[in-house]
Amino acid sequence: MPPFSRFTALTEQLPASVPFVGPEVQERQAGTPFMARLGANESGFGPAPSVIAAITEASATVWRYGDSESFDLCSALARRLDLPCEQIIVGEGIDSLLGLTVRLVVETGTPVVTSLGAYPTFNYHVTGYGGRLVTVPYRDDREDLEALRDAVLREDAPLVYLANPDNPMGSWHSADAVTAFARSLPDTTLLVLDEAYGEFAPDGVLPPVSDLAQLPNVLRYRTFSKAHGLAGLRVGYVFGTAETVARFHRVRNHFGVNRLGQVAARAALEDAHWLDHVRAQVAAALQRLAQIAEQNDLQPLPSATNFLAIDCGSAVRARSILEGLNAHRVFIRMPGVAPLDRCIRVSAGPASELDAFEKALPTVLAGLT
């Protein structure tokens, strides 16, 4: 029987690829589990006990679909952000919301501006909808705001992506710089401002909500996957002006956010004590990772996230270190393009997993010389 042949021409031209190869896939390929899971920027410190209790209490209701409006969670976010619910959309993590944003804006051949080496899942969505990626290099390991703006103007691009704090480098721009960048863009260019790591950023990095809330061409994306420890439940949200946010209702999966995810995220918002605990644990872990790097003659970079980029000197050396750690069942990742790929990227994690990293790293490095 001949193969089915009614797939779109665009789909047929796309490579069968994924932005990231997950640790579970690598474990199946190797036939053994990782000792340390330090590559996905999850929170190895887990969700709050109060969140686990809320999930447990709600577990008997999983036969019901989740609220299609995520009303209780949206209301809690509205109080936190001091915005009406009409300016907030809850979705199945930032990745899903990025895909919906691209769907709203991008057609075949649409130019989309981003940084070369920035979050690859955004690129995956752009390519999947036929967009044309226009990339600019990082400058001093930070996304280059001036170059991004110049590319937008040159290409008349309707979409530009910026992560602040940044993944994969952990770098950041000040709130004032981000606000100035947003206000410098043409009214016809939508800024995708990814703030997934915002809970870990120092003061003065995230623009106040009110500074950008009335700009119709700015959308801000946040998640419960990182600091709140709910990566497995896939809950994120985006906020902007009511008129812009309303477009998501035309394309979103209205029952996509599961019931337990809504319950857990709402409980997480209410547990400020646990969030402070996680921030402290992450800060201590990053300090220890930096010490481990320096003890092994590697250079840690400043980070406003829950991971540390470590300069290994060259892409070849960084790749060899990553592969060597993988062989020792320590899961990390590295940036994909030069000059960022001279680094490895290691997530903050529990002490036992940092122990495994600390033990394996000098052995791996000794094997390279």
At residue 168, the pLDDT reads 97
Q: How far apart are CA 50 and CA 229, in angstroms?
A: 12
Q: What is the pLDDT of residues 149-171, one digit of tens each?
A: 999 999 999 999 999 999 999 99
Q: What is the pTM of this model?
A: 0.96
Element (H, E) at 346: strand 343-347
What integer best gives the mean pLDDT of the chain?
96
**Tokens in use for 153?**
């103007």
Asked if omega into 137 is within 30° of 0 (cis), the reply is no
At residue 3, the pLDDT reads 78
At residue 251, the pLDDT reads 96
Q: How far apart are CA 345 and CA 308, in angstroms?
A: 6
**Tokens in use for 97?**
């919301």
At residue 250, the pLDDT reads 97
Q: What is the pLDDT of residues 76-120, one digit of tens each?
A: 999 999 999 999 999 999 999 999 999 999 999 999 999 999 999
Whether the predicted pLDDT of 7 surpasses 90: no
Whether the predicted pLDDT of 369 surpasses 80: no
**Res. 5 pLDDT band, cuts 50 70 90:** confident
Distances (CA, A) of 143 to 129, 147, 303: 24, 9, 14
Whether the predicted pLDDT of 2 surpasses 90: no
Say if domain 49-270 classifies as CATH 2.40.50.100: no
User: Of the candidates 272, 273, 305, 277, which has an alpha carbon nearest to the alpha carbon of residue 289?
Assistant: 305
Q: Assign domain 20-46+273-366 one CATH number from 3.90.1150.10, 3.40.50.300, 3.40.50.720, 3.40.50.620.
A: 3.90.1150.10
Provide the angle, in degrees to the nearest 10, between the axes of the packed helices 49-58 and 259-270.
Answer: 150
Query: Taking the domains of the chain in order of start, what are their residue ranges?
Result: 20-46+273-366, 49-270
Q: How far apart are CA 100 and CA 152, in angstroms?
A: 21
